[in-house]
Amino acid sequence: MEELKTVKGLLGLKVIFLLVVLLAVNLAGCVQEKNHLQGYVEVSPEVKLDEPSVLPNWKDDEYHDYYSTVQKLRGFNRMFPNLVDLFSIGKSVSGRDIWCMRLTNEGNNSVKLSCLIDGCIHGCEWEAGEAPLYLAEYLLINFGKNATVSSILNTTEVYIVPLVNPDGRENDERWNANGIDLNRNFDVDFGRLRGHVLPLGKIFGRIKIPVVSVPLLGLWFTNCGRYPFSEPETRAMQGLMENLASHNFSFYVNCHTAMHMVITPWNAFKPPFEIPSNEENVFNYVKKWVVENTEYEDKPMNYHASGTAIDWCFKEFHVPSFTFEILSKDYEPGSGHGKHDHLVHWMKTTLPFFMYLLVNIDSLKDWKLPIKQYPLPDGVPPQPLR
Ligand SMILES: [Zn+2]
């Protein structure tokens, strides 16, 4: 009897053990399922999605030329395969690929909004290419940890083209390899003298004339190409934006240096259509936000430009479009050949604007006032440089 009791007791223990194991497996399954739903990262149960975001670990001398930009993009693709899609949208005049990166949680198949942030359409404006890269790294390293960043990549496709003008970046020149100012080559107000451009193209198909200056009158004109979209780089951007138009395209940022301000469409010319007052209100609201929350300014333009990317994007797709002029004016003596220093500082000045637009993308899509604020990490925005 004593033996039988022991056997029964052991059996009971085994049953309880089995039940505990089954329960544990089941619970683990729930955790797994939940993690799968919330993103690509296998988040351990104790990690909360409301961790404060952290900044990319960049150094002040970490500027990326064409080669190291491509290395960086490939690195992102390798490290975050379920968040990054990397593809070429065309080739430059000299045959360099123009790389585009799409950031989104590919595990989430719901309908998403899309946006485009590009840089270095003027090749010598290095920081304009660095800023979208910095944003990309910030989003990737905080996904699955910070709730807001995770939500952005779960609901948004962020398209990033860090080097619109790869040849210009390699040659450290404003123009592309044909000597054309790409941000004057779009099909809007094209070739207007008042926009300080001349539609020359390459003379005899050979001779580059990037700029014509009239020193006596203090005037200079850039070469906008012979006709709209004459250049492979602008055609690549045209194709990308036309594609985004069928993917809930919601805002566009074209990065430059060094006017230290945010610019909205048509600073020089009468728009080809009436801009509705609610859309004007959104532009004004964003510029006011920039003045109140960043070191960037809203000041009168001191130059005219025709054939620009943001004017064309706004005219064609009717989405909020911005030129973001990073750095300050003392960084750009002449037409862009300035000094490059304090990289990390300048990157930190760009993050508030990008994140502000991203958390408000649903409002921007419908031209409603972008009123949401985003808690930025410590030290952002930084104290302005003296
Ligand atoms: Zn520029």
Biggest alpha carbon distance in the chain?
A: 117
Average pLDDT over residues 363-367: 98
What is the tens place of the pLDDT at every residue in 195-227? 999 999 999 999 999 999 998 888 889 999 999
User: Cα–chain-centroid distance for residue 140?
Assistant: 13
pLDDT value at residue 2: 42
- Say how many Å lie between the CA of residue 121 and the centre of ligand 1: 7
Q: Read off the pLDDT of residues 239-267 as tens digits, 9 standing for 90 and up.
A: 999 999 999 999 999 999 988 899 999 98
Kindly give the distance from the C-alpha atom of residue 260 to the centroid of ligand 1, in angstroms, as a whole number: 11
Question: Cβ distance 72 to 63 under 8 Å?
Answer: no
3-state secondary structure of 130: helix
Assess contact for 150 and 38: CB atoms under 8 A: yes
Distance 254 CA to ligand 1 centre (A): 9
Residue pointed to by tokens 């083209």: 161
Q: How far apart are CA 214 and CA 268, in angstroms?
A: 21
Binning pLDDT at 50, 70 and 90, where does residue 49 land?
confident
371 CA → ligand 1 middle, Å: 29
Q: Round to whole Å and give the CA distance between 292 and 277.
A: 22
User: pTM of the predicted model, to two decimals?
Assistant: 0.87
- Ligand 1 centroid vs 67 CA: distance in angstroms? 21
Q: List for the chain the helix, strand, coil content (%; round to 5).
A: 40, 15, 45
| Angle, CA 370 vertex, CA 115 and CA 360 arms, to 5° | 40
How far apart, in whole angstroms, are the C-alpha atoms of residue 96 and residue 251? 27
380 has a pLDDT exceeding 70 = yes
How far, in Å, from the CA of 336 to the mean position of ligand 1?
7
Give the distance (Å) from ligand 1 centre to CA of residue 329.
Answer: 12
Distance 243 CA to ligand 1 centre (A): 24
CA of 385 to the centre of ligand 1 (A): 21
How far, in Å, from the CA of 46 to the mean position of ligand 1? 46
How far, CA to CA in Å, does 276 sit from each of 116, 180, 219, 282, 368? 23, 33, 34, 10, 12
Cα 373 to averaged position of ligand 1 atoms, centre (Å): 28
| β-strand pairing of 156-161 with 113-118 | parallel
Q: Which residue has the higher pLDDT, 36 or 353?
A: 353
- Please report the pLDDT score of residue 304 as a whole number: 84
Q: What percent of the chain has pLDDT over 90?
A: 75
Over range 90-103, report the average pLDDT: 98
Distance 174 CA to ligand 1 centre (A): 7
Q: Report the length, in residues, of the chain.
A: 386
Task: Determine the distance separating the centroid of ligand 1 and the alpha carbon of 248, expressed in angstroms.
Answer: 27
Please indicate whether residue 27 or residue 353 has the higher confidence score (pLDDT): 353
* Domain ranges (residues) in the chain: 1-38, 66-174+229-365
* pLDDT interval class at 330 (50, 70, 90): confident
Asked if pLDDT for residue 20 goes beyond 50, the answer is: no
What superfamily does domain 66-174+229-365 belong to in CATH?
A: Zn peptidases (3.40.630.10)
Residue 99, SS3 per DSSP: strand
pLDDT at 27 over 50: no
Beta-carbon contacts of 224 under 8 Å, excluding residues fewer than 6 positions away, are: 180, 181, 184, 185, 190, 191, 195, 197, 198, 199, 306, 307
Residue 302: what pLDDT?
A: 72
Q: Is the dihedral of CA 276, 280, 281, 282 positive or negative?
A: positive
- Given a contact cutoff of 8 angstroms between Cβ atoms, the answer to whether 199 and 224 are in contact is yes
- b/e map 300-336, b = 16+ CB within 10 Å: eeeeebbbbbbbbbbbbbebbbbbbbbbbeebbeebb
pLDDT of 334 = 56
Q: How far is the centre of ligand 1, averaged over its atoms, from the C-alpha of 126 (Å)?
A: 10
